Amino acid sequence: MIKVGIIGVGTVGASVANILEDNFDLITARAGKEIKVVKGVVSNLSKKRDVNIPLTDNIDDVLDDPDIDIVVELMGGVEKPYEVVKKALANKKAVVTANKALLAYHRYDLQEIAGDIPIGYEASVAGGIPIINALKVGLSANQITEIKGIMNGTCNYMLTKMIDEDVDYDTILKEAQELGYAEADPTFDVGGFDAAHKLLILSSIAYGIDAKPEDILIEGIEQINKEDIAFAKEFGYAIKLLAIAKKDGNNISLRVHPAMIKKSQMIAKIDGVMNGISVIGDKVGETLYYGPGAGGDATASAVISDIIEIVRAGQSSPMLGFKKPFNSEKLTLSPAEDINSEYYLRMSVQDKPGVLAKIATILGENSISIDTFLQRSASKEKVATLLCATHLSNEKDIQNAIKEIESLDIIKKSVAMVRIVR
Amino acid sequence: MIKVGIIGVGTVGASVANILEDNFDLITARAGKEIKVVKGVVSNLSKKRDVNIPLTDNIDDVLDDPDIDIVVELMGGVEKPYEVVKKALANKKAVVTANKALLAYHRYDLQEIAGDIPIGYEASVAGGIPIINALKVGLSANQITEIKGIMNGTCNYMLTKMIDEDVDYDTILKEAQELGYAEADPTFDVGGFDAAHKLLILSSIAYGIDAKPEDILIEGIEQINKEDIAFAKEFGYAIKLLAIAKKDGNNISLRVHPAMIKKSQMIAKIDGVMNGISVIGDKVGETLYYGPGAGGDATASAVISDIIEIVRAGQSSPMLGFKKPFNSEKLTLSPAEDINSEYYLRMSVQDKPGVLAKIATILGENSISIDTFLQRSASKEKVATLLCATHLSNEKDIQNAIKEIESLDIIKKSVAMVRIVR
């Protein structure tokens, strides 16, 4: 009998306990041993919870219990769970966590501290989709040349609705909050930070590269408006919040930002709250993984898959997938200004002669050539909207051009930009 | 240093040897040990091959070599490779195989013979997509309620072209043969047998059920024609060759047949030679796996992922994923006549009064109610085509009705039927 302690019995924790009970016979047959949750830690003991496990409000009741083999960390936060996981490892307990923020900051520390003690974290990226396992095991023969992921269901739900139903950002955010898809403070999701944490985890398995959220470009979806959506639809694009890892020689580019992508790409077909990750390996080509990125049962499915694997096998490879260091000292994280992309720009300008010429001149002087140009006038306010898509350009040039355009007195508000990703 | 012998150095075998060389540093870092192909077995030594490994035409040079740790079986066939793999296991060598036919017939025998010796077979289903690993590990907490797979690239290429370019079956088969996507004798692919072998492998991991190709319904795509395609397009369906496993209580339904599926389903969006498998777990919901189902490098990517996993970990679970038997004695394979589905029927009839009434009467007498009815007349030949889609009906009733309709003297050729899958 394998004994499990859960620290944090919220939606996911309760699902873990309940699924281990619901599918007990099946899981026992797959794992080879019975698995039982013997203790759950909560901060508020008086709150009613839908689980049949003994509860405590003292974390050490789990960490110091010599009978407990596996600790499931579902607390949230960074530094507190880090201390908790370290203590669990010191007490020789295997750990399973769904905590992407913890891993975004401390995955290499934890790998070192853990040594041979297994740490599972399948649930930390894209909920119920077994993408960690696919990267660690299924694609291990490949140099990963690119990862493009839709890994935040809140953003994907909002962007899908904006495209399908022509609603604006504020309306759909409010709806997502009412449905429980978005938090009261939605910054972590809509600002791209959640997706960035997940990207950092995947990039460690793909490249053995240690980067922190502060090191990479993170832009959210807050500035996407109806005009951008209309432009995307007109030219056959979907708009998605993408987390992108790209390898070019020894340069690794990691970034999270909204992107226009051609509707024919598989990744563009992933709609609503669903998540999907396209991975390109140098040998296998593109494989794609699709499924629910959140939700109690879906996330618990991933947590339990880690528990079962630990029971069956211990850990088949070090936490982050490399048994020996792999030229990570040679890898460089490319600065955002090295991005080459096509760009979509939206500008609100005074509707008067000479405006277009001024903007076109600035773009030209910054080596940016234009692929598509649309002008829409809202004459009563004497304000026109200019929408344009560029040919392949350099990020630095675009940023310069935007700065120069924004300094013009004909510009009514700041320029909006969305990268077009092939 | 881990030493590998490859039996069968065709396209996939050569890719295995070459990728292990190309990505040697990366694979060494991931596996923790150097992996080298030391011998390859071919039947014709004089044929020029694009590999840098010593070749022999004697299988025992690999099987009896005490230095070889892992045998990669890529011979094709069933009984001969079965003997080869048994001997490799008897000599305590781990085995990696891409041979779905071998596994369709002998997977349980091999699991028993192997005991603790690892057998990897990720490459046997859907080429480069790590679906075996996803089912064995990633979804292990779930009762698998349904698998719907597009697992034959030849059929998917042909059906996609028929829909997109309005070409007929014979033309597109010829084109697929010229492109190397279809064999000179295409029966194994277009007849659904290849997909059936893969389905049987997946159903063992999902349910622990031992079935053989002879035990399940297998229908190919040979009868799909332009009228079916036109009907599907008109009513918003894609036509795909689906391999389906479905659990309903203790009844497991396994079948391979062409299916009309609503275009909004993710599985319907998988086009061309690509493969995709949708898996529904009772807890996680739907996850889907997409990628190349064939090709030397893609298949080799899966073969090598097995090799790396064997080097890192031995085998984390028994070959077919269950450490202990799981109520498989209680599971029953449902007979095909228990299928409940909507059905599409195509009939060529004499274009004269009373025909429709006769057919409608037969359908009604067999408890089949009609959802959609289309009649297209080709008046010069006095032959009309009737196309219809039914409401939910029972397979036995449909088969009876088809038999009765075919016995009518107004019918010009046999009735074509495609199941509509939700």
B324 belongs to a structural domain: no
pLDDT exceeds cutoff 90 at B211: yes
Of A22, A122, A140, A266, which to mutate for an interface test with B (greatest number of B Cβ within 10 Å)? A140
Q: What is the mean pLDDT of chain A?
A: 95
Asked if residue B280 and residue B160 are part of one domain, the reply reads yes
A207 belongs to a structural domain: yes
Picking from A128, A287, A321, the nearest residue to B291 by CB comes out as A287
Measured N-to-C along each axis, helices B226-234 and B153-165 cross at an angle, to the nearest 10 degrees, of: 70
Residue B285 sits in a domain whose CATH number is 3.30.360.10
* Residue A87 to chain B, least CA–CA distance (Å): 26
DSSP codes, B334-394: PPGGG-EEEEEEEEEEE-STTHHHHHHHHHHHTT--EEEEEEEEEGGGTEEEEEEEESSEE
CB A333 within 8 A of CB A209: yes
B146 interfacial to chain A (CB closer than 8 Å): no
Res B315: pLDDT = 64
A204 belongs to a structural domain: yes
Residues spanned by the domain of A119 = 2-131+297-313
Please tell me which residue, B60 or B422, carries the higher pLDDT value: B60
A27 backbone φψ class: left, alpha, beta (φ>0; ψ -120 to 50): alpha
Distance CA B141, CA B283 (A): 8
**Across A376-380, B234-238, B305-309, least confident range:** A376-380
pLDDT exceeds cutoff 90 at B313: no
Q: What is the mean pLDDT of chain B?
A: 95
pLDDT exceeds cutoff 90 at B316: no
Distance CA B94, CA B73 (A): 11
pLDDT exceeds cutoff 90 at B324: no
**Across A354-363, A413-422, B34-43, B324-333, least confident range:** B324-333
Residue B16 sits in a domain whose CATH number is 3.40.50.720
Asked if residue A150 and residue A114 are part of one domain, the reply reads no
Asked if residue B226 and residue B104 are part of one domain, the reply reads no
B320 belongs to a structural domain: no
User: B40 - beta bridge partners?
Assistant: B6, B55
A9-31 residue pLDDT tens = 999 999 999 999 999 999 999 99
Contacts of A301 in chain B (CB under 8 A): 139, 141-142, 281, 283-284
Asked if residue A274 and residue A359 are part of one domain, the reply reads no
Under DSSP, the state recorded for B411 is B
Res A379: pLDDT = 64
Asked if residue A177 and residue A234 are part of one domain, the reply reads yes
Asked if residue A106 and residue A46 are part of one domain, the reply reads yes
A46-75 residue pLDDT tens = 999 999 999 999 999 999 999 999 999 999
Asked if residue A208 and residue A145 are part of one domain, the reply reads yes
Res B326: pLDDT = 79
Contacts of B321 in chain A (CB under 8 A): 30
pLDDT exceeds cutoff 80 at B329: no
Res A117: pLDDT = 94
Asked if residue B357 and residue B284 are part of one domain, the reply reads no
A225-255 residue pLDDT tens = 999 999 999 999 999 999 999 999 999 999 9
A280 interfacial to chain B (CB closer than 8 Å): no
CB A331 within 8 A of CB A203: no
Res A381: pLDDT = 74
Taking residues A352-380, what's their average pLDDT?
89
Asked if residue A302 and residue A156 are part of one domain, the reply reads no
* Residue A291 to chain B, least CA–CA distance (Å): 4
Asked if residue B278 and residue B167 are part of one domain, the reply reads yes
Angle at A143 between CA B305 and CA B268, to 5 degrees: 70
Please tell me which residue, A166 or B267, carries the higher pLDDT value: B267
Of A284, A304, A329, which to mutate for an interface test with B (greatest number of B Cβ within 10 Å)? A284
Res A339: pLDDT = 92
Res B375: pLDDT = 87
For B309, the 3-state DSSP assignment is helix
Tokens 């399940």, residue located: B216
Cα A249 to chain centroid, rounded: 24
Q: Could you tell me what percent of chain B has a pLDDT over 90?
A: 88
A149 belongs to a structural domain: yes
CB A27 within 8 A of CB A61: no
Going by C-alpha positions, the residue among B315, B318, B334 that lies closest to residue B326 is B318
For A392, the 3-state DSSP assignment is coil
Asked if residue B239 and residue B149 are part of one domain, the reply reads yes
B131-141 residue pLDDT tens = 999 999 999 99
Asked if residue A256 and residue A118 are part of one domain, the reply reads no
pLDDT exceeds cutoff 70 at A328: no
Picking from A130, A138, A141, the nearest residue to B23 by CB comes out as A141
Cα B98 to chain centroid, rounded: 13
Under DSSP, the state recorded for A57 is S
Contacts of A286 in chain B (CB under 8 A): 290-292
B20-48 residue pLDDT tens = 999 999 999 999 999 999 999 999 999 99
- pTM for the full predicted model: 0.96
- First-last CA distance in chain B: 51
pLDDT exceeds cutoff 70 at B199: yes
* CA atoms within 13 A of residue B14's CA, in its CB half-sphere: 10
A322 belongs to a structural domain: no
Residue B352 sits in a domain whose CATH number is 3.30.70.260
Distance CA B139, CA B117 (A): 23
- Sequence-distant (6+) residues with CB within 8 A of B12 are B74, B98, B123, B296, B299, B300, B303
B372 belongs to a structural domain: yes
Q: Chain A residue with minimal CA distance to B283?
A: A297
Q: How many domains does chain A have?
A: 3
B330 belongs to a structural domain: no
